[in-house]
Amino acid sequence: MVVNKKLYLRNQEGQAIFEFVVFLPLMLVLMTVMLTTGNAINASINQQKATRGYFFNLIQNNSSIPVKTDMELLKNNAVAKVSAFSIGWRTKEVDGKESLATCTKYTTMLGSINADETCEDPILDDNKSQFIRIFTFYGVCTESYQIDGTGNYRANWIEKASDICTTSQ
């Protein structure tokens, strides 16, 4: 009795097409996620550059920051000690209190998590969102200022390293 030791399919036509059809959606989903994440990182980097440039433009030729108007605002909010100056990036302000960060939307071929969700009005089901929110702040340490007996800010000599760049109430 003769046994054929090499058993294999002789007709493999269509194998490549089958693999292409099976793996193409997976590759497209991975590429979409990779491009969306890359765009969010790029937006964050550009936002950081713009915030840093705007910050240094604000303090140009001014060695005594924070400025008096900022110090008055802090004093009205009962902040007794200040030793940092920073700014942040926001898309817009809501009711003078809440700042909204810029958003990058994750787009997928499988549809969105919440079709009615927008960047300004998030719908959080199980802490899932289709948006990446990018927050940016930039600042520097400055001289330490503390409210004196007359109710005005006065420059302090920092005695401890832990007092550098702290804000307390």
Structure tokens at 6: 């090499």
Give the pLDDT confidence of 21-78 residue by residue, as tens digits.
Answer: 999 988 988 898 888 889 889 988 999 999 888 888 887 767 667 777 777 888 888 7
CA 49 to chain centre: 13
- What is the distance between the alpha carbons of residues 141 and 31, in angstroms, rounded to a whole number? 41
Alpha-carbon distances of 55 from 30, 79, 86, 88, 140, rounded to whole Å? 37, 22, 8, 9, 10
The torsion of the CA quartet 128, 132, 137, 138, rounded to 10 degrees, works out to: 140
User: Quick check: helix, strand or coil at residue 104?
Assistant: strand
Tell me the per-residue pLDDT of 69-106, one tens digit each, with 9 for 90 and over: 777 888 888 777 777 777 888 777 777 777 778 888 87
